[in-house]
């Protein structure tokens, strides 16, 4: 089927999004944009911070409530499908300025589960582009989170118990990799300690994955450098026991991540933002793992290599972790990163962000620049509108839903 050609606005028809295989009107204003009425005192400065635009490397996002990456375990051979068009499309139509696609493996052996998304070959570009095109058609932007599971690979999805998958069920336990030959726990594979060649091949795989993502049209490259997956397991002394140039000192342990950013930057436009998800702490006793001091030392190095935003999470590295769960339990780590005051570096807060009051508190008190929301978007795809309604902010909906908006509670 040929692409739909663009038509012009008139009094009788809407402009059409060009270049698609389906018809959809072009949104007059990006969905989720605050409606400003200066004569009534509603200005960019007066609205709640969640709806103040933010610009990163020349890319402007109309609000600061973004969909966090969430694994869906719904791919065959790493390919995105109609499921993902529908899944991510729901948020594109409801005003999320940036939608992170799920963790997408840069190599087949780098998947968490056999059903993870992947981008290790050029064949993955076209299915990914279908998802990206739909999100773009609804006026939103797309980030893809590049990932390598490391020693957490070849397990079942969570609802099946995160057990090791046997070879006869498409498992790849004998291909699982890590910095050190030590398993996450007794239910996981014992990884092979990566050789020098395997490390260099993986660095290049991240670069090529970024190139493919650019070809698919994504707007932002995000890197999963947290939660005990491969990148963080190299950085943390709890999981990296190597004695070569990739282990031992802090400088050696972080070099893997530094080289990955360099490979990505070589393969993407200068104007494309790069985000990095980091575990701020391992939640282990002092001296046994990655600590906040390490994070605050690492982030300026990554920023100098071209990382624009840090998504600050924690934990996931060691099964002995003692996570101190609670309301905004990870936000102090984001605030500590923000307090570094690095120029042109932005910070995202994540974790248990469930209501408008929390969003408002984080953003209005300078704890982070944006919020990444996960489970609450699964529960309520209209979370952006819910935040707007509760903070008295009038925002745009997609034109086709022009009957949907409810007047704000506050004026």
Q: Tell me the per-residue pLDDT of 77-132, one tens digit each, with 9 for 90 and over.
A: 999 999 999 999 999 999 999 999 999 999 999 999 999 999 999 999 999 999 99
pTM comes to: 0.94
Token pair recorded at residue 60: 């402007």
Residue ranges covered by each domain of the chain: 1-30, 38-401
What confidence tens digit (pLDDT) does each residue in 354-364 have?
A: 999 999 999 99
Q: Are 165 and 188 in contact (CB under 8 A)?
A: no
Q: Residues 175, 176, 180, 183: what is their CA dihedral angle, to the nearest 10 degrees? A: -130
DSSP element (H, E) containing 130: helix 125-137
| Residue 364: alpha-carbon gap to chain centroid | 22
How many of the other CB atoms lie within 10 Å of CB of 1?
6
Token pair recorded at residue 291: 């600590």
Q: Are 152 and 229 in contact (CB under 8 A)?
A: yes
Q: Percentage helix, strand, coil, to 5, in the chain?
A: 35, 15, 50
Q: Tokens 């099946």 — which residue? A: 160
* CA dist., res. 116 & res. 171, Å (int): 12
pLDDT, position 315: 85
CA atoms within 13 A on the CB side of 27: 23
Residues 6+ apart with CB under 8 A from 22: 4
Q: Tokens 């050696």 — which residue? A: 252
CATH class of 38-401: alpha beta
DSSP track, 328-379: TTTHHHHHHHHTT--TT-EEEEESS--SHHHHHHHHHTTS-SEEEE-HHHHH
Strand pairing class (54-56; 59-61):
antiparallel
Q: How would you label 231-264 residue by residue, b for 16+ Cβ within 10 Å and e otherwise?
A: bbbbbbbbbbebeeebbeeeebbbbbbbbbbebb
Instruction: Give pLDDT < 50 ranges for the chain.
Output: 1-7, 410-411
**Burial classification of residue 158, based on how many CB atoms lie within 10 Å of its CB (0-12 exposed, 13-18 middle, 19 or more buried):** exposed
pLDDT, position 407: 59
Strand pairing class (309-313; 192-193):
unpaired
pLDDT, position 410: 47
Q: Catalogue the active-site residues.
A: 229
pLDDT, position 10: 53
Q: What is the DSSP letter of 264?
A: H
Token pair recorded at residue 140: 């939103």
* CA dist., res. 17 & res. 2, Å (int): 13
Closest to 134 measured CA to CA, from 269, 27, 273, 7: 27
């Amino acid at each position: 089927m040929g692409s739909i050609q663009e038509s012009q606005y008139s009094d009788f028809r809407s402009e059409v999004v060009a270049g698609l295989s389906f018809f959809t009107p072009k949104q007059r204003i990006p969905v989720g944009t605050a409606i400003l009425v200066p004569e009534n005192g509603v200005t960019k400065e007066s609205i709640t911070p969640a709806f103040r635009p933010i610009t990163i490397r020349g890319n402007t996002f109309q609000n600061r409530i973004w969909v966090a990456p969430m694994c869906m375990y719904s791919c065959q051979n790493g390919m995105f499908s109609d499921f993902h068009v529908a899944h991510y499309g729901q948020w594109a139509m409801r005003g999320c300025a940036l939608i992170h696609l799920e963790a997408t493996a840069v190599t087949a052996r780098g998947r968490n589960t056999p059903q993870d998304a992947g981008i290790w070959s050029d064949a993955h570009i076209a299915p990914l582009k279908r998802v990206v095109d739909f999100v773009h058609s609804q006026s939103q932007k797309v980030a893809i989170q590049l990932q390598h599971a490391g020693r957490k690979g070849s397990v079942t999805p969570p609802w099946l118990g995160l057990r090791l998958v046997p070879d006869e069920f498409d498992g790849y336990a004998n291909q699982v990799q890590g910095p050190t030959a030590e398993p996450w726990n007794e239910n996981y594979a014992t990884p092979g300690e990566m050789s020098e060649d395997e490390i260099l091949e993986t660095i290049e795989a991240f670069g090529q994955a970024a190139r493919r993502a650019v070809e698919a049209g994504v707007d932002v490259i995000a890197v999963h450098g947290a939660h005990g997956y491969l990148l963080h397991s190299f950085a943390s002394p709890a999981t990296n026991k190597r004695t070569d140039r990739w282990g031992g000192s802090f400088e050696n342990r972080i070099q893997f991540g530094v080289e990955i950013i360099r490979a990505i930057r070589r393969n993407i436009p200068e104007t494309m933002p790069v985000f990095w998800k980091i575990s701020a702490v391992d939640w282990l006793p002092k001296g046994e793992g990655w600590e906040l001091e390490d994070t605050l030392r690492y982030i300026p190095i990554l920023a100098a290599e071209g990382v624009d935003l840090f998504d600050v999470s924690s934990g996931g590295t060691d099964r002995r972790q003692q996570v101190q769960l609670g309301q905004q339990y990870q936000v102090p780590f984001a605030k500590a990163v923000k307090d570094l005051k690095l120029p042109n570096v932005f910070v995202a807060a994540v974790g248990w962000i469930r209501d408008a009051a929390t969003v408002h508190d984080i953003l209005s008190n300078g704890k982070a620049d944006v919020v990444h929301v996960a489970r609450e978007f699964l529960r309520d795809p209209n979370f952006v509108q819910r935040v707007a309604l509760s903070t008295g902010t009038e925002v745009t909906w997609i034109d086709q839903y022009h009957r949907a908006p409810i007047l704000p509670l506050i004026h």
